[in-house]
Each structure stands twice: as structure tokens, then as C-alpha cells.
Amino acid sequence: MTPAMEWIERRKLLAFGEDYGTSYFKFGPATLGNKPDMFENRGYFYTPTRVEQALGAPATRVIVGPDLAQYLQSTSDLSKLYYPMRHGTISKDDEKGWTIVKEITRYALNKYAPKPGDPQYPGFKGFWVAAAIAANSPNSMYERLIEIHRELNEESDRPLVQALTIIPQPLAVAISQKQIHCIVIESGHGNTQITPISRGIIYGAMIPLNRGGQDADNMARQLLRDLGYQDIAREEKIVTEFKEAVGLIPLDLNRAVSEAKRDPRRFKAVFQIPEAGIRIELEKESWQRFLIGEYVFNPSHPEFESYYSRGFHRPLDTPLPWGTIPGDASLAQVIRESLNKCAIEVRRYVTSMLILSGGNFSWRAPPELSGYAVDAPTKIKYELKKENIDVPRVMMASDPQYSVWRGCIFYATFLKPEIEWDSKSREGWVLFIRE
């Protein structure tokens, strides 16, 4: 094995990815393979019971990680959960949010940092960490993440992080797919990042749309209320499960709704909550399944006007330095706006491929409903054609929920160690522990 190959193999052992998503935090070393560890990106400021305090528990502590749910005692506790990156970014003075980010990062690194003397990690000085955050993150987020990783090293009795780099999530997707000219649309729970890439992010054309999986959840919640399930509609996790179980993306909403009303039995769906003894059947209302999926792509469709007139909130507008993107603009229209901000010479390169990534695009298309229900790439291509935008290839990132983390691992493995962090270009390594 050549020295270069030995270096890469060693780096693969030390590469660690952190994807700070709006809903989930995905993390872990390269040794996990193709699938990261993950839990919800949230925290709970827990006040122990008197019995726990009598046994020495601190007055208040932050609970994060997969065991958080066991600390919730009633539905009212759900309102106390704090999601620091609900909309993709965290303000500089959101100490509550940054406290949670620090604790989930501590949890992740401590879970996988080897114990002293581990023969697989001789002379371990910490992981080489690539962290991914929203492409529109301000400088203060980069600075605070660097500070958090430095503090975690100082507070630990063993090395955790030898070096840190930070990468925008859409660029991590492009890296995971080995593409340098493309448009990446990364859609998570809280936002959708439309990002043209030509050997790097074209920041002047990037649009962080204030629309994501939570908006589809809101539509699913409204349907549950209309069906008479107000109590269930208050439980976020159940609402998301309902959305994922019954929601469909229509190729053409008018056509899909018309056919579902004509033959409701064909489009029937059943959603069950066994532990609560609840069974929800959608047959007569089966056409509403398509509203959940359409809302992700085009909330300005006339079918939604009746909901808006009843007080249902439109998605939030997106203010940008050069104007405002209406919250209900179709995804195809937003892609056009983004392309219009690209130099004409590079448009043909970035439109050669469009990559969809993120859980908000992971929709199933039942084969028995072919022609009416479709997957996300088919829907996007159909909508772009109506806008006269020709993209030869629209594809879903492989395992779209994990593509950002995979890009982090690839970047952490192959970014040369001698490249030092540059705060202007936001590239390179922040070295905490030198060889």
C-alpha cells in the first residue's frame, strides 16, 4: 500500500460527519458505512422531581438524544420541546438553542470516541469532523460551531475532535453524488434550499425557501381536524406518521382529485394507531391525500384557496437581498428565479442535472395508482416543463435522508489536512490538536 493510500485509509477511520438538519441530527464516523446514527434535533429543559433532586439530581438539565421521550409525562410537555434549527439557522443570541446544539454534539462525539488504548485507534487525537449546516447560515453560526467543538474538547477527559470543517448542506449533497455542476434542492422539515452549484455554491442565486416538511405536516393536521380528530392533530409525531402513510404526490392535481372523487374506493387509505385503538379510513375523502403532496410543490394551487379562506396559514415569505419570494410560490417558479440569478454562461451547466435530497422528497408512489400518484423527481420534471425549463436529468439522491451525512464523510476523508480554515471562503480545517 502506498503512503497516499495509507493516509486515506487512516482518514477513513477518523472521518466523522455531523448533519444539523431542521428535524433530525445525523452523525457518526465513516466506519458506520452508508447509514448514520440519528435522533431528533431537539432538546428538553427538564426539572427533576423532588425525589430525583433528593437523590442528587441537578435542578435543571438539558435532555437530548433517543431517550428524551421517557422524560415526557404528558401532552403538555410536548410544547416544552425546543427545536433549535426548526427553520435551518439559529440566531446569535439564542442561548437556549445553542445549549441544545452543544449537548447533541457532545452526545454524538462521546458515543463514538474510542477509549484510551483502543488498538483500532492507536494514538487517537480526535476525529476529523465535517459538520453540515444550512447554506444560508450566517458567519455567527460558523463561529459558534467552532467554539462549541473547541469547548467540548476542553471539557472532555479524552480527545474528541482533532480538526473541524464546516460545509453547506447542499454542497455536501453534490459531493455525495460526485457532481460539480448541478442544482441541488435539499428539503428538510423546516426549509427547502434551492442551490445552483458550479464547482461551488453560487450564493447570489441560492434561495432558502421557508417551506419544508412541516408545511406538509400542517396540511395533514388540517385534514385530521376536518375528519374530527382534533386531539390527534395536536401530536406532532402522529401527524407526521399520518402524512407519510396517506400522503401522495399528484402528477396533475386536478386530474388526480377528479379521478379520486369518481372512484374513491381505488384511492382508499387506512391509518391506524394500534396503541390508541384508533383507525382512520379515507375513502370518500381519499382525494384529499393528494393535497398533502401538492402542498410541498405548489401551495398556490386554487384547490387550497378554501383552506386559506378558513384561516389556514400560507407558507412564510422568504425575504432576500434582491426581493421577496412569496411563500406560496410553486417550486418550479422558485427554481426559475434561482436560475435567473445565475450568469447566462453557467446556466446550461447547472441545469444539466437537478438533484433532490432530504426527507421531504421521500414520497412513495403506489404502482396501482400509476399516472395519478408519482415520485418527487417525476413531479418536479412535470412542473419544470410547464415553466419551459429543460433539465435533462432530475434524480433523487441515493438514500436522500442520508446524502448530506455521506457528503460530510467524503469531504472529511479527502480534504487535505494542510488546508487551514479561511473564514471568508469558509473552507479548510480548524485544527484543535496538532500532530
pLDDT digits (tens, 9 = 90+) for 213-239: 889 999 999 999 999 989 889 888 889
pLDDT of residue 74: 53
117 and 106 within one domain: yes
pLDDT of residue 189: 84
pLDDT of residue 358: 86
Of 61 and 55, the structure prediction assigns the larger pLDDT to 61
Q: Is the pLDDT of residue 146 over 80?
A: yes
pLDDT of residue 53: 63
pLDDT of residue 138: 92
164 and 66 within one domain: no
Phi, psi angles (nearest 5°) of residue 238: -65, -40
377 and 408 within one domain: no
Report the range of poorest mean pLDDT among 62-66, 97-101, 346-350, 382-386.
62-66
Report whether 408 contacts 132 (CB < 8 A): yes
Question: Looking at the chain, how many residues does it have?
Answer: 435
141 and 285 within one domain: no
Q: Exposure pattern of 337-363 as b/e (b: 16+ CB <10 Å)?
A: bbbeebeeebeebbbebbbbbbbbbbb
Is 183 within the bounds of a domain? no
* Residue 400 DSSP class: T
Confidence tier at 55 by pLDDT (50, 70, 90): low
Of 110 and 212, the structure prediction assigns the larger pLDDT to 110
CB atoms within 10 A of CB 398: 12
285 and 427 within one domain: no
Confidence tier at 3 by pLDDT (50, 70, 90): low
pLDDT of residue 196: 96
Report whether 167 contacts 409 (CB < 8 A): no
Query: 421-428, long-range: CB within 8 Å, 24+ apart, which pairs?
Result: 421/146, 421/165, 423/139, 423/142, 423/143, 426/142, 426/166, 426/168, 427/165, 428/165
135 and 72 within one domain: no
426 and 366 within one domain: no
pLDDT of residue 339: 95
pLDDT of residue 305: 94
Is 91 within the bounds of a domain? yes
90 and 154 within one domain: yes
Q: In whole angstroms, give the CA distance from residue 190 to residue 315.
A: 11
Q: Is the pLDDT of residue 372 over 90?
A: yes
Phi, psi angles (nearest 5°) of residue 323: 155, -170
345 and 213 within one domain: yes
3-state DSSP helix/strand/coil % of the chain, to nearest 5: 45, 20, 35
Is 182 within the bounds of a domain? no
Of 278 and 104, the structure prediction assigns the larger pLDDT to 104
- Domain count for the chain: 3
* Mean pLDDT on 201-207: 92
* Residue 341 DSSP class: T
3 state DSSP class of 117: coil
pLDDT of residue 68: 78
Share of residues in the chain with pLDDT > 90 (%) = 64
* Mean pLDDT on 22-43: 93
pLDDT tens digits along 347-368:
999 999 999 998 889 888 999 9
Q: Is the pLDDT of residue 25 over 70?
A: yes
Is 187 within the bounds of a domain? no
145 and 8 within one domain: yes
Q: In whole angstroms, give the CA distance from residue 95 to residue 89.
A: 13
Is 384 within the bounds of a domain? yes
Q: Is the pLDDT of residue 195 over 80?
A: yes
Q: Which three cell numbers stand for residue 176?
A: 455525495
Is 410 within the bounds of a domain? yes
279 and 217 within one domain: yes
Confidence tier at 5 by pLDDT (50, 70, 90): low
Of 78 and 145, the structure prediction assigns the larger pLDDT to 145
Q: In whole angstroms, give the CA distance from residue 163 to residue 287.
A: 52
pLDDT tens digits along 275-315:
778 899 988 999 999 999 999 999 999 999 999 999 898 88
CATH code assigned at 125: 3.30.420.40
Is 195 within the bounds of a domain? no
Q: What residues make up the domain containing 223?
A: 207-396
Is 333 within the bounds of a domain? yes
Average pLDDT, the chain: 89
Handedness of CA 292, 296, 297, 300 (dihedral sign): positive
Q: Is 395 left (phi over 0), alpha (psi -120 to 50) or beta?
A: beta
Write down the H helix ranges in 207-266.
Answer: 213-226, 230-233, 236-246, 253-262
pLDDT of residue 202: 93
Q: Is the pLDDT of residue 6 over 80?
A: no
Confidence tier at 87 by pLDDT (50, 70, 90): confident
75 and 146 within one domain: no
